[in-house]
Chains A and B, each alone.
Chain A
Amino acid sequence: MTQQAIANKVTVVALVENEPGVLNRVASLFRRRAFNIDSLTVGRTHKPDVSRMTIRVDAGSEYARKIANNLQKLVNVIDVRVIDNEPHIERDLALIKVRSDDAHSRNTLTEICDRYPARIVDVGPHVAIIEMVGTEVFVEKFIDEVRPIGIVEMIRTGVVSMGRGTRIHDTSVTRRDLARAIVQASSARNGRKS
C-alpha cells in the first residue's frame, strides 16, 4: 500500500455500550449500507460499561461522516467522532513470523528491527516472531523491509486512535448507571408513598 493511499484514510471512533450484540449491530449496518471499511477494532475502556471502536475507512471524510451519521442512529452507540485533520496518536500492532534459519537472515532482521520500534519476541531454530508497533504507515514500511527475508505468518490488530491533548472523547454517564438510578428513585418514591 502506498503512503498516499494510507493518507487518504479516515478514522471513525465510536463509544458503544458494552453489551451483547453491539458488534453485530455495527457489522450489520456496514453490510446493509454497503459501507466499505478497512479495519475495525473494538476494545474496553476504563469504564466497564463502555467499549470503544476504531474504524478505518478507505475513502474521503465525507464518506466517513456518512458512516458516522448512520452509526449515531444505533441506540447502543453512545457517541461517534470522525478523526480527520485533528492531531491524534494512532497505533497499529503487527506480529510477524519470518524465516530465520541462517545467520544472514538473522543479522538482517536484527538490523532492520534496530531502526524501528520493533522487537524480536520469539526465536526458534527456523523462524522468529517480531512485534512491531507504530502508525499504520510505519508498520507498512517495516513489513516492506522484512518481506524479502520471507514472511510465513502475520497478524495485525488494526489501527487504534486517540486525539491529542485535551480533546477528550468520553462519556460521563452510562445507561446502566442511569437505569439503576431510575429504579432507585422509583423505589424511594414508592417507599415514601407506603
Chain B
Amino acid sequence: MRLTGSEIIMECLLREGVHVMFGYPGGAILPTYDAMAKYDDRLHHVLVRHEQGASHMADGYARATGEVGVCIATSGPGATNLVTGLATAMMDSSPIVAITGQVPIPAIGSDAFQETDVTGVTLPITKHNYLVTDVDDLAYTMKEAFHIARTGRPGPVLVDVPKDVQNAVTEFIYPEGPIFLPGYDPPAAADTYQIDAALRLIDQAERPIILAGHGIIMSGAMQEVRELAERAQIPVALTLLGKGALPEDHPLVIGMMGMHGEASSNLAIQEADLLIALGMRFDDRVTGNLKTYAVNARKIHIDIDRSEINKNVRADVGIAGDLKTVLKQLLPKLERKSHPDWIHQIRDWLEDSSERDILNYETPGRLLTAQVINDIWRLTGGDAITVTDVGQHQMLEAQYYPHQRPSTLLTSGGLGTMGFGFPAAIGAKFGVPDEEIWAIVGDGGFQMTLCELATARQENVNVNIAIINNHFLGMVRQWQELFFEKRYQATPMVNPDFCKLADAYGIPNRRVTQRDEIEAAVAYARGIDGPTLIEFVVEKEEMVYPMVPAGADLHDMKRRPKPGES
C-alpha cells in the first residue's frame, strides 16, 4: 500500500488505538490535516483555541484512561505553545505523543518562516523526541514513540515531521511484533535478595508506614498495595497524585502527606521506623527539610525509574522495578503482622486534626472553599472525576474531596501548572465519556486557558466548571501573608464577570455566593448535557492548613487554631 507520510501518521495512530487527537492546524502540518478528512469517521480531531490547551487535553485524556493522549500542532509557534503541556506531562509521568509539523528538510537551519528547533527546545521536557528525515522511517518511529510514551516510567514523546516528509510517498509497512530498542529497557522484577531484604525490614518494623504514590496507579498495583497494607497492618499515607490508589475511607489510609498534607500523616512519617515508598519520588513538597526527614526510619523504595532511587532520600533497600511485579514477588512471603500501639497513636493525631477541621466551625454568612468542595463531593456521591488547577483550591480539593477510585483526581502535581485544569478536564471527558467530570479551578488559573470555553462549546463537552473565585491569586497571597508581611504585590485580581463570559460563549451558568445555594447550582450543572459554569464567590483571604513552610521540617507545621483558641 503506497501512502503519503501524512496518511502513514493517520494509519499509525489508528493502529495504536487512538480515537481522538487535540490540535490546531498551520502551514507546516497542513498535509497531515488534509489527510485527516479520509479518516474522519475513525479519528476525531478536536480543534483547540491555543496549542497549550491541546497538550493539556492530551494529558487529561492520558491520566483519565491510562492510554496515550495525542496532540498535534504546526511548526514554530504552534510547537512552542505545546511546551508547557509537555513539561507538565513529563513531571507527572503522563504518556502523550505530540506530533508537530516542521519546515521542509531543505529549509531546516535557515531560519525559515515558522521554523523552530523544536526537538532542541523540548529535549529536556520530553522522555524522548524524534525529527523524522525520511518517510521510510516514519512508521517505525511512530511505533517507537507510542511504545516509549506508555512503557516504563511513562512520559511525553514528540515526533517532528517536516512538511516534505508528510508529502513524500512510500510503501507503508507497519512494523508488526515487538519493538527492539537496545538502549531502552525499563526494569521489571526485583532480585530475590532484594525481596528478602525488604521483607526483613518489614518484619522488624514496629512503626511502619506506606507512602503511596502515582506509580501504584500507573502500574495498576492497587490490589497488591492493599494486600500489603492489610496483611502487615501498615498505615498508608498518600501523595497528591497517589490519591485514589487506595479508597480514602479505608481504615488504614491516613491521608495526604507533605506541605499541605494531613498533620497525622506528616507526624507519622517523622515518627516511623520504616518508610515503604511505593511509586513516589520524595519530591521536596513531600519531604520538607531532607536533613530532618524521617530520620528514625529505614527506607524501602520501589520505583520503576532507577535514577529516582537514592536521588533525594537514601534507601536501605532500593528496588528499581515495576511495582505490581515486585509486590507480586513479595506478597507470597509476607507474614501477617499487627501494630496496635502505632495505629492507636495515629488515631489520636487524626482526632486532633478533626477538631481543627474548618468544616466543624460556625461560619455564618461566609462561603469557604472547603465547604464548596466538600459539598460537591457530597452531592456527586464522591464519584465524579475532579480535575483541578493549581493553588489553594487544589490543596483544598485534596483535603476535602476523598477519592475512592484511582485516576479520579487529575491534577498537575510536579510542575504545578496553572491553566491545566480546564483543558485537562475536556481531554479527560473524551477519554471517559460516561464519567461525571468537574473542573475545579481558581479565578487565576482559569483565565490562563479560558479560551477553551469555545472548544467545549463547539464539541459540546459535558464538563462542569466550578470556578472558585476569591479575587486573589490565593496561594501566592497566603505566602505573602505568612512570609512577606501581607504585602499583596500583584495578587489581587480584577476579574471579568464569569457568568457574562459564559453567556458570550453560549455556556449555561450560575453564580453562588451563599452556602445554601450550592446544592441547587450543582444539581443545575449536573442536569445539563454539555458544558456548564458555576462561579463560587468565596471568602477573599482564606488559608490552607496545615502548612509546612518550604524547606521547613516536616513536623514543623502551621496549624489552624482549634475553635476558641484563635
Contact = CB atoms under 8 A, between A and B. Distances in A.
A25 B123 CA distance: 7
Contacts of A171: 182
Interface in A172-190: 173-175, 178-179, 182-183, 185-187, 189-190
Nearest to B182: A78
Interface in B155-208: 173-177, 180-184
A99 to B, nearest CB: 43
A51 to B, nearest CB: 12
Nearest to A31: B124
A70 B182 contact: no
Interface stretch (B303-311, B360-368, B392-400, B527-535): B303-311
Contact of A28 (B124, B127, B174, B180): B124
A182 B183 contact: no
B119 interface: yes
Given A73-B305, A178-B182, A189 B123 contact: no
A75 B128 contact: yes
A79 B183 CA distance: 6
B496 interface: no
B180 A77 contact: no
A74 interface: yes
A39 interface: no
B520 to A, nearest CB: 50
A173 B176 contact: no
A186 B174 contact: yes
A69 B306 contact: yes
Contacts of B138: none
A75 B181 CA distance: 8
B124 A183 contact: no
A162 B8 CA distance: 44
Interface string A63-97: 00010011011111111000000000000000000
Contact of B183 (A32, A75, A183): A75
Contacts of A24: 120, 123
A73 B140 CA distance: 20
A136 interface: no
Contacts of B176: 182, 185-186, 189
A171 B185 CA distance: 14
Contact of B180 (A25, A76, A178, A189): A178
B307 A69 contact: yes
Most interface-central of A16, A77, A185, A186 (chain B CB within 10 A) = A186
Interface in B76-122: 119-120
Contacts of B456: none
B238 interface: no
Contacts of A16: 183
B300 interface: no
B183 A17 contact: yes
Contacts of A79: 182-183
A73 B183 CA distance: 8
Interface in A19-53: 21, 24-25, 28, 32
B120 A182 contact: no
Given A28-B124, A190-B173, A175 B180 contact: yes
Nearest to A16: B183
A179 to B, nearest CB: 6
A28 B123 contact: yes
B177 A182 contact: yes
Given A24-B120, A72-B306, A73-B307, A78 B183 contact: yes
Interface in B122-142: 123-124, 127-128, 131, 140
Nearest to B176: A186
A182 B128 contact: no
Contacts of A72: 306-307
Given A25-B123, A66-B311, A185 B183 contact: no
A78 B181 CA distance: 8
A72 B528 CA distance: 50
A76 B124 CA distance: 14
B148 interface: yes
A182 B175 contact: yes
B182 A173 contact: yes
A132 B124 CA distance: 38
Contact of A175 (B120, B182, B311): B182
Contacts of A62: 310
A174 to B, nearest CB: 6
Nearest to B184: A75
Nearest to B320: A69
B290 to A, nearest CB: 15
Contacts of B183: 16-17, 74-79, 175
A32 B124 CA distance: 8
Nearest to A50: B182
A170 to B, nearest CB: 11
A65 to B, nearest CB: 8
Interface in A148-194: 171, 173-175, 178-179, 182-183, 185-187, 189-190
Contacts of B131: 21
A66 B310 CA distance: 8
Contacts of B309: 69
A178 B175 CA distance: 11
Contacts of B140: 179, 182-183
A172 B306 CA distance: 24
A186 B123 contact: no
Contact of A21 (B119, B177, B180, B311): B119
A185 B177 contact: yes
A28 B119 CA distance: 12
Contacts of A70: 307
A74 B183 CA distance: 7
Contact of A173 (B120, B127, B180): B180
Contacts of B305: 73
Contacts of B174: 186
B120 A66 contact: no
Nearest to A74: B183
Contacts of A17: 183
A24 B119 CA distance: 11
B179 to A, nearest CB: 8
Contacts of B175: 179, 182-183, 186
Nearest to B125: A32
A182 B128 CA distance: 21
Nearest to A21: B119
Given A73-B305, A178-B182, A186-B177, 4 more contacts: A70-B307, A74-B183, A182-B140, A182-B177
10 contacts: A17-B183, A21-B119, A25-B123, A69-B307, A72-B306, A72-B307, A73-B306, A75-B127, A178-B180, A186-B174
Interface of A: 16-17, 21, 24-25, 28, 32, 62, 66, 69-70, 72-79, 171, 173-175, 178-179, 182-183, 185-187, 189-190
**Top-3 shortest CB links A-B:** A178-B180, A69-B307, A78-B183
